[in-house]
Structure 1
């Protein structure tokens, strides 16, 4: 089972990668998602959406 995502860390890492690293927002979010063990940002956001709907850790 994957740990619960840290939204604050995700947003901070993505913002730094975008601003300081010159990445697009999409690539920066993919990087931030991978840092938390997700395939990409789409998988990260899907995990969170599933959690909100089911109110339990997928």
Structure 2
């Protein structure tokens, strides 16, 4: 089963790691994506983009 992105948690975690942890935005987003079960930020954003186009999470009907 593919993870479902939580954009609020992603943005908050990335911001904390960037500003408090001193990571670059790219590294912070990768870490935030991994915390949600994604390979990296690119995979996270791709899952969101796929949902916008298909209205499905990872090939599964939503709801």
Is TM > 0.5 for Structure 1 vs Structure 2? yes
Larger radius of gyration: 2
- Is the 2:30–2:40 Cα contact (8 Å) retained in structure 1? yes
Unaligned runs of 5+ in 2: 59-63
What is the match of residue 61 of structure 2?
Answer: none
RMSD across aligned C-alpha pairs, in angstroms? 0.7
Unaligned runs of 5+ in 1: none
Counterparts of 1:34 and 1:3, CA distance in 2: 10
Given the alignment of the two structures, is residue 36 of structure 1 paired with residue 36 of structure 2, yes or no? yes
**What is the TM-score with the length of structure 2 in the denominator?**
0.88
Of Structure 1 and Structure 2, the greater strand share is in 2
Q: How many residues align?
A: 58
Counterparts of 2:37 and 2:44, CA distance in 1: 9
Of Structure 1 and Structure 2, the greater helix share is in 1
